[in-house]
Structure 1
Amino acid sequence: MRRELEVGIRSLRGRPVVALALWSVPEIVPTAAYGIAVAHAVDDGFLAGRPATGLAWLGALALAAVVGAIGTRQVYLRLGGLVEPFRDDLARRVVSGALARGAAGNRDDGAVSRLTRQVEIVRDTYAGLVLVARTLVVTVIGVTTGLLSIAPLVALLVLPPFLLGLAASLGVMSMAAGRVRDSLRADEEVATCATAVFSALRDVTARGAEEYAARLVDGPIGDHAAAERALARVAVVRTLCFVVGGWGPLVVLLAAAPWLADRGLTAGALLGGLTYVLVGLQPALRTVLAVLGDNGLRYVVTLGRILDAGASPASQQQGSPVTPGSDVALRQVTFAYGPHSETVVDRLDLTVAPGDHLAVVGPSGIGKSTLAGLVCGLLTPTAGEVLLGGAPMAGQPVEQLATHRVLIPQEAYVFSGTVLDNLTYLCPDAQAAHIDLAVEAVGLATLVRRLGGLAGQVRPGDLSAGERQLVALTRAYLSPAPLVVLDEATCHLDPDAERRAEEAFSARGGTLVVIAHRISSAMRAQQILVLDGSSATVGDHDSLLQASPLYRELVCH
């Protein structure tokens, strides 16, 4: 949820935000004046036998309401300056993400629903969130100012139950998040299924398959209805929150009225306090519950789906890799470091399909890092050829290779500068949402917070070897390259941190080659390459236990 809120907050920049803040000031006037005007109209006017004075105070309240209305009108006039650019950015994300998937050969059946419905949901709820946040701040400031002016003791009785109800309503949001996600997922399934049925309507009619088509659509529709009913039950809980925060202050104030009267509280001051509850706090909490509890939750969940789907395939955690140029093939590759040196790799044939996860294991000095250099084009084979994306790697410009593969060695390179500069070194135009995803996925969040956020300064000498590796791993995660080679790049991490980082790269998409430091890395791979100095054996864990004595020894089997 933090990512989605940060996206909305980052859009609150420029003149429209300043204008909204300035035109919100007049709205505080009637909110603060309601209770004061009522208290003086009762005490100094009607109860004192001076009805003209009482009417004058009420007239002043009417003038304050006019001032507030002017401010409200100006706020709405300037709201479009924030909302429409935000909507345009979301539409660009959806379209670019769908086009990227199409170019990669992957269908995106949910793109239509995201563009036509979900973008509009986020647009409308974003506007509502901006307004409700502004209204809440205005109301609390105005009510607190007014209560302190007429009776500070009333403020101590009224504000705590209101804040309790507000906090409870925020708690309901986390409880309902899963239900809103289910509703949106079901909505996409209905759209996908209905599109398939409607596109084949002629065939359905010609073959008399109406009943089959109806059953096909019935399941997703039923799931959608169940998800909407679950959301309705959340509304009941929000009603209870309103009872606590909206009616609780009124009950407390009425119950404490005799006690307050004994301490000198006038009838006008008591009536003014009731006015603040009924005219200020209750409507504000009702708006918060309506917008945050429903629209706000839809904003968070829907925007999250748009951001995930709109990210480039290389930066997603969707596990649907297959970016063009991510397959690797070695054809009869032989390599030695000199004409009279011993052969390190001898006539090796190896194919790593797009999206595969390969682990390379073997004793130290057997040639694993040499293989990593060959795969990345840093070393030229003595014989044979290395293909990347079906094209020979030999002779390709370094700039071209940099867009296709990234290598993280055992000794991670970190330079002095900001955290952001270190992370985006391979992808300078990375979006903030993608950076946040990478930091969380790889496990760098704790270090980023310790350094003071993305703007914090990195001093390589102050970081441990494991922390430098985490920075380099996150940098590789953000890279647009579809092929990632980790040459013992997690050797300074503990097993849990290593597992988290490798699983993040597996889910990121693209092809992953891991020169394994621990045998547990091999257990997570789809394929395992065992190098023993005289031969190379490829297989999965179970087949290698049967075929490779060295692998059985490495796993202590």
Structure 2
Amino acid sequence: MRREIRFAAGQVRAGSLWRLGLWSLPEVLPTALSGIVVARAVDDGFLAGDPVRGLVWLAGLLLVSAVGALGTRMVFGHLGDVTEPFRDELVRGVVGGALGNAVAGRGDDGALARLTRQVEIVRDTFGGLLVAIRGFVVTAVAVVVGSLSVSPVIAVLIVPPFLLGLLAFAGMLGLAAGRHRVAVLADEQLAAVTSSVLAGARDVTATGTEEHAAALVAAPIAAQANAERRLAGVAALRTLCFAIGGWAPLLVLLFAGRWLVDGGLTAGALMGGLTYVLFGLQPALQNLVGGVGGSGLRFVVTLGRLLDAAEPPPSGRPGERARSSPVANPSPGSGAGRREIELRGVTFAYGPRAEPVLRDLDLTVPAGDHLAVVGPSGIGKSTLVSLVCGLVEPDAGTVTVGGIPATRLPPADRVLIPQEAYVFTATVRRNLTYLHDASPDELDAAVDAVGARPLLDRLGGYDADLAPAGLSAGERQLVALVRAYLAPAPIVVLDEATCHLDPAAERVAEEAFADRGRTLVVIAHRISSALRAGRVLVLDGAGAAHGDHAALTENSALYRELVGHWRPADVPAHAGG
């Protein structure tokens, strides 16, 4: 519980807290003056035979209540300044944890529920707790000050039992949080077991194993019932704490009334003290006990689960592998950098009745090679990318990278840049170094190699804020290309990742990757990409042909047609045909 409280407290900005505190002063003014006004109305008005004066005092309290209503309105208006940054931090943690699990090759089925439901629960509960705790603090201070103004002896009588109840409540919070957490886990365990049993209800009935099925759920039911009973005990303790802190001061004043009046305390002062207890301390303590003891415990448990999920995995975070791996060209003998891609008899179709997109494909891409994949739209080029990157499994055949099945390849060993580049709201530096914590020299070298220097200058440098909506599609692709260039992965796959660049910029970017010595697979948007590649794979729906430009020009009618429709706007000097 301490971790959750420290995290929540750390998200409260001092400026926002001060604004809440300042607007709390007019809000609590009616409570602070209520006892004084009642005392004056009784002593100087009604008991003195002047009811008009008594009514004037009470009317003044109504006017002060209007000021308090304005303070309450402003408090809730500024509450968003505290809760929204807190929500944003939770969202960053949930998304970061999910991405970390994905990069580490672990599934995270609960990420969506945490993002769409649990974050909102925690945010709303956080706001409610802030209101309850803030209201309690300012009300308690106002009551103490007001009761001292009416008569110090009243404060001496009501404050000690109030503090005793408050301390008892604070002491039981740890116990309550532990029991609430056990109840949540017991409920989840019961749901998991009963779901499994109910899913096989027909089989249970058919085989006559009802007793066995009942035995499976008996233990979780008992555990959940026991946890709920223990929670009920905590609720009883909360009620006792409220009785001590809220009702004991009232009883003390009532029992001491005769002695107080004999000692010179006026009836109005006594009624003022009772007003402070009934309309100040009791509501404040009840809100605190109900808010912190009820929704507050749910807040701690739910926030704890969010923080657990947001913690980075022990390995596989973006940048973690990069910090231990240089960006320099992988040496020919390095195991990590020499990953040969092999497809043997690969067939893939989108559904059991669908026509295969790829059929009996055999392909070898040697480590460090540069392969361009060409063919008409919808012919299976992006499907090939998904198979090579291990995002899908073939219906038949095998896809291996360095002898490892592609689906088991560590995610950090390959980089896939799709056509729609991913750019997020942050600084330019954070966008570029998302996959590798690069040094300034590495950053400059990558930006210059990919041809992104003009874009960097336009944005205002590495520390400038980057808004995705302010970038064109081509500029977003340049950002993603620099990011991929910095990553130490031995395999880079560009799935039309340069389609929004002009031919000259596309050539600069592709040649930058080809010169790195890493295995490069390019889904070609222009046939000029094929001319720059050492090897070309042509997909035509019925089969596949691969080889260099000269061989395919001679042997592939589709390749000749694609080249024939192309007008040389960016031909490298070494290209023929």
Distance 2:147 2:319 in 1: 68
**1:491-542 CA distance string (max 9 Å, x none):** xxxxxxxxxxxxxxxxxxxxxxxxxxxxxxxxxxxxxxxxxxxxxxxxxxxx
2:13 aligned with 1:41: no
Shift of 1:299: 2.0
Shift of 1:302: 2.3
CA contact (8 A) 1:180 1:231 kept: yes
Distance 2:44 2:100 in 1: 71
Partner of 1:73: 73
**1:17-54 CA distance string (max 9 Å, x none):** 34322221111210111100100010000000000000
CA contact (8 A) 1:87 1:120 kept: yes
Partner of 2:246: 246
TM-score, with structure 1 as normaliser? 0.53
2:143 aligned with 1:126: no
CA contact (8 A) 2:12 2:86 kept: no
TM-score, with structure 2 as normaliser? 0.51
CA contact (8 A) 2:32 2:146 kept: yes
Distance 2:16 2:156 in 1: 36
Distance 1:52 1:325 in 2: 77
Distance 2:338 2:32 in 1: 72
CA contact (8 A) 2:41 2:57 kept: yes
Please, which moves more after superposition, 40-49 or 26-35? 26-35
2:89 aligned with 1:89: yes
Distance 1:389 1:152 in 2: 81
Distance 1:326 1:203 in 2: 49
Distance 2:316 2:209 in 1: 37
Call closer, same or farther: CA 1:326–1:143 in 2, change over 3 Å.
closer
Distance 1:271 1:11 in 2: 42
Tell me how many residue pairs correspond in the alignment.
338
**1:307-365 CA distance string (max 9 Å, x none):** 12211012xxxxxx7889999xxxxxxxxxxxxxxxxxxxxxxxxxxxxxxxxxxxxxx
Please, which moves more after superposition, 152-161 or 300-309? 300-309
Q: Which one-letter code corresponds to 1:64 in the other structure?
A: V
Distance 1:218 1:390 in 2: 55
Partner of 2:470: none
CA contact (8 A) 2:204 2:213 kept: no
RMSD: 3.9
Partner of 1:336: none
Secondary structure of 2:25's partner?
helix
CA contact (8 A) 1:129 1:291 kept: yes
Distance 1:30 1:190 in 2: 49
1:128-207 pair list within 5 angstroms: 128-190=128-190, 192=192
Shift of 1:3: 2.2
**1:187-215 CA distance string (max 9 Å, x none):** 443565577679x6899799889968887
Distance 1:195 1:78 in 2: 44
Distance 1:265 1:298 in 2: 46
Distance 2:91 2:195 in 1: 21
Call closer, same or farther: CA 1:272–1:102 in 2, change over 3 Å.
same
CA contact (8 A) 1:110 1:188 kept: no
Partner of 1:28: 28
CA contact (8 A) 1:162 1:249 kept: yes
Please, which moves more after superposition, 240-249 or 84-93? 84-93
Distance 1:213 1:97 in 2: 37
Distance 2:17 2:319 in 1: 45
**1:98-146 CA distance string (max 9 Å, x none):** 3422432334455455445533432232112211121012111211121
Shift of 1:80: 2.6
Partner of 1:441: none
Please, which moves more after superposition, 148-157 or 226-235? 226-235
Distance 2:150 2:319 in 1: 73
Distance 1:276 1:256 in 2: 16
Call closer, same or farther: CA 1:252–1:217 in 2, change over 3 Å.
same
Shift of 1:389: 11
Distance 1:218 1:59 in 2: 63
Partner of 2:402: none
CA contact (8 A) 1:172 1:293 kept: no
Q: Which one-letter code corresponds to 1:288 in the other structure?
A: L
1:327-406 pair list within 5 angstroms: none
Shift of 1:82: 2.2
Call closer, same or farther: CA 1:312–1:11 in 2, change over 3 Å.
same
CA contact (8 A) 2:103 2:316 kept: no
2:269 aligned with 1:269: yes
**1:220-244 CA distance string (max 9 Å, x none):** 5654444233212200011111111
CA contact (8 A) 2:148 2:155 kept: yes
Call closer, same or farther: CA 1:99–1:123 in 2, change over 3 Å.
same
Partner of 2:301: 301
Distance 1:202 1:390 in 2: 52
Q: Which one-letter code corresponds to 1:25 in the other structure?
A: L
Distance 1:113 1:160 in 2: 46
Distance 1:256 1:40 in 2: 21
Shift of 1:170: 0.7
Provide structure 2 residue ranges, at least 5 long, that are not aligned to the other structure.
327-332, 340-411, 414-435, 438-577
Partner of 1:487: none
Partner of 2:571: none
2:285 aligned with 1:285: yes
Please, which moves more after superposition, 219-228 or 145-154? 219-228
Shift of 1:81: 3.0
Call closer, same or farther: CA 1:323–1:216 in 2, change over 3 Å.
farther
Please, which moves more after superposition, 264-273 or 139-148? 139-148
Q: Which one-letter code corresponds to 2:151 in the other structure?
A: A
Call closer, same or farther: CA 1:186–1:84 in 2, change over 3 Å.
farther
Distance 2:243 2:336 in 1: 64
Please, which moves more after superposition, 65-74 or 211-220? 211-220
Distance 1:146 1:220 in 2: 53
Distance 2:235 2:201 in 1: 42
Partner of 1:522: none
Shift of 1:280: 0.2
**1:76-110 CA distance string (max 9 Å, x none):** 23323322332233233223323422432334455
CA contact (8 A) 1:162 1:245 kept: yes
1:438-449 pair list within 5 angstroms: none
Secondary structure of 1:313's partner?
coil
Distance 1:87 1:203 in 2: 44
Secondary structure of 1:49's partner?
coil
Provide structure 1 residue ranges, at least 5 long, that are not aligned to the other structure.
315-320, 328-375, 379-384, 392-402, 405-426, 429-557
Distance 2:244 2:153 in 1: 20
Secondary structure of 2:48's partner?
coil
CA contact (8 A) 1:170 1:292 kept: no
Partner of 2:370: none
Distance 2:203 2:52 in 1: 79
1:357-506 pair list within 5 angstroms: none
Partner of 1:258: 258
CA contact (8 A) 1:31 1:143 kept: yes
